[in-house]
Chains A and B, each alone.
Chain A
Amino acid sequence: MTEPAEQPTEQPTEPVEGGIVAEVERMTEAQRAEHAAEVADVVAPDRDIAVGVGDTLLEMREVTMRFGGLVALDTVNFDIKRGEILGLIGPNGAGKTTCFNAMTGVYRPTSGQVLLEGRAMGRRKRYQITRMGIARTFQNIRLFGEMTALENVVVGADARHKTSVPGALLRLPRHHREEREVVERATALLEFVGIADRAADKARNLPYGYQRRLEIARALATEPKLLCLDEPAAGFNPREKQDLMGLIRKIRDDGYTVLLIEHDMRLVMGVTDRIVVLEFGKKIAEGAPAEIRENPAVIAAYLGVPDDGAA
């Protein structure tokens, strides 16, 4: 690159001791718990939400989604309560992802409304919806491959900030403050989802499981009121699924509301508080996991209806 004349004589440092990652390794169980609590504290959402815990955060009101002649969603009604983990399930092609896309502004519903904290999302742009408080991950991972893990998360955290070209050009005080904030939040998030040891790696070089977790960290960085996970366990082995369930619970316990689309029934049943079942674009059931498991319509949707009608 360049030929600077003078160089200090010290050896190029290999990964030296130190750094939070190494430090956590050396901690005792109690210290580690304390550190995790500090991390969780930084990660916890810090924004005003107009509804209380247990009240309706997001409402799908009569949402219909048509593509030409195909009705992908047919007057779907359900709501998501603040602080819960809601599962959205259904056989292939039931409209789960369409529902998700209608919610996150990728599609505009043909009719009906999506309301966040009672406010209609209307014709807002996608990035505005994210800033309003709905964040998502992608079924097929879509990270910014050339950025490091940390930078990926910082992009998410940037959503809550305002510095634009003039501020960055002149390095105004707000730029400095926001840079400090995003890095602090992003590092905490990487620790929170458990991938801090690869913070400096390009996203595309990360192992698959790390990439999935990085997607969750990036979405959480936007401080969403509602976090939508689109099949986060796809391609995971049972052990990884177990870990993911723990992470989803941890996210909820930290003050977030989670919507989960997932194929893996054990995971959905194990982690959600409530489940909404779609089939052919219609809601066929809604309730606690135990109820859903016994629900004849759901069993029929998944297993087909035997001739005598008994399940």
Chain B
Amino acid sequence: MTTASSATRPANESAVRRFRNRWNELSRPQQWVALIPLVVLIYLIPEINAPFLASTSVDFATSMFHAAEFAMIALGLNVVVGQAGLLDLGYVGFFAIGSYVAALLTSPESMLAKIPYLATLPIAMIVTMIFGLLLGTPTLRLRGDYLAIVTLGFGEIVRLLASIIPVFNGNVGLDNVGHPPKLLGQTFSNTDAKPWYWLMVTLIIVILLFVGNLERSRVGRAWVAIREDEDAAQIMGVSTFKFKLWAFAIGAGIGGLSGALVGGQVSFVNNQDFSVPFSVLYLAAVILGGAGNKVGVMIGGFLVAYIPDRFNSLGDKKYLVFGVALVLLMIFRSQGLLGARQRLLARGRQAYRQLLGRPEPITSESSVTPDGGAQ
């Protein structure tokens, strides 16, 4: 999207800006209608199975499921890192807890009572949210690097406990994790990822709606205020600790949900898939896409999951390529691929229009543009 060299950039950017301005002009219902074809396309991707998109390592539907998984995880981590500005390096811990909740409650190898798989999804969210609170309550007094180190430790603790505590079966893991019943004519199994992909995309849309609601409310504003200047936020009456805790819990819940979904799709959970590099990869997805921007981080998640699948021939070098790409991105576009500002007012459109006679600017550099920087 923005690998443009500096020479081609201005023309490119003005096209992007024109498009953004035009998009900005549409009312929200118009935007929804305009998005319908895109959503349909997203749902249809695994059916289309275009040869140039096909991945070399796994079948295409599985690859798309991975991408959707990363998009959802990025969306959850974005609440914590992008919106509230809390650096979390142990996000895989929440993912792991979600996976284990689903496995323990459905796998015949666990000693717990069995319940229908779909019921484990909300339970996984609630349990991970509780873990989010448990981790957040003592640690959210820390800031920046210190918080990052504690969360890094948390991720490792979860992984190690999964190896030590007998219930989790360590390396052997829990097999035959449940799956949803036949839904709308689709059979869920671990051999066909398509229905899982559709379920995942549907849940992502639901999460987008809810996270969007939060963003354009007192809660979203509190998060951004905390991210920008925590002391000033507190002095302006923001209960910073409470809202940080909420961000942590909500992020954890989304991580847990994705964990439960992946546990179900793979139908097997053991202690091997929850190591630190995953947390780093999730964070890379958020930074790559543009921390704070919901659409951006989903694109970031998609790329982080899809590119290694697609270019499997790179072998171990694929992470090297990633590293270089991230470094370049940070040099040339430090706000991430999509740097559009968050909108933080439920009635912002009407307010700006009423006050200024035009909608709010959407670009990240609003007043550096020729039209805004005149004064």
Contact = CB atoms under 8 A, between A and B. Distances in A.
Interface of A: 1-8, 10, 12-22, 104, 106, 125-127, 130-131, 135-136, 138, 142-148, 150-151, 154-156, 158-161, 163-165, 167-171, 175-176, 178-180, 182-183, 186-187, 190, 196-202, 205-207, 218-219, 222
B366 A127 contact: no
Contact of A168 (B37, B214, B295, B348): B214
Contacts of B368: 205
B300 to A, nearest CB: 13
Interface in B329-375: 338, 340-341, 344-348, 350-358, 360-361, 365-368, 371-373, 375
A45 to B, nearest CB: 15
Nearest to B293: A1
Contacts of B19: 1
A143 B233 CA distance: 9
Contacts of B221: 147, 151, 154-155, 158
Nearest to B226: A144
A19 B366 contact: no
Contacts of B213: 168-171
7 contacts: A2-B34, A106-B235, A158-B237, A163-B218, A175-B217, A178-B218, A199-B355
Interface string B1-24: 000000000000000001111110
Main secondary structure on B side of the interface with A: helix
B247 to A, nearest CB: 9
Contacts of A186: 351
Contact of B352 (A2, A176, A200): A200
The list of the 7 closest CB pairs from A to B, nearest first, reads A159-B237, A19-B357, A4-B34, A168-B217, A18-B357, A205-B367, A130-B237
Contacts of A183: 345, 347-348, 350-351
Nearest to B210: A169
B120 interface: no
A20 B238 contact: no
Interface string B204-217: 00000010011001
A218 to B, nearest CB: 6
B224 A146 contact: yes
Contacts of B229: 142-144
B356 A200 contact: yes
A145 B365 CA distance: 12
Given A14-B371, A127-B235, A154 B210 contact: no
A145 B228 contact: yes
Contact of B238 (A16, A19, A127): A127
Contacts of B220: 168
A39 B214 CA distance: 29
A154 B25 contact: no
Contacts of B314: none
Contacts of A138: 232
Interface in B185-239: 210, 213-214, 217-222, 224-225, 227-229, 231-239
B269 interface: no
Nearest to A151: B344
Contacts of B174: none
Given A150-B352, A183-B351, A2 B25 contact: no
Contact of A165 (B37, B246, B345): B246
A235 B350 CA distance: 35
A127 B237 contact: yes
B107 interface: no
Contacts of A202: 341, 366-367
A168 B220 CA distance: 9
Given A150-B352, A164-B219, A4 B38 contact: yes
A10 B238 contact: no
A165 B250 contact: yes
B372 A201 contact: yes
B240 interface: yes
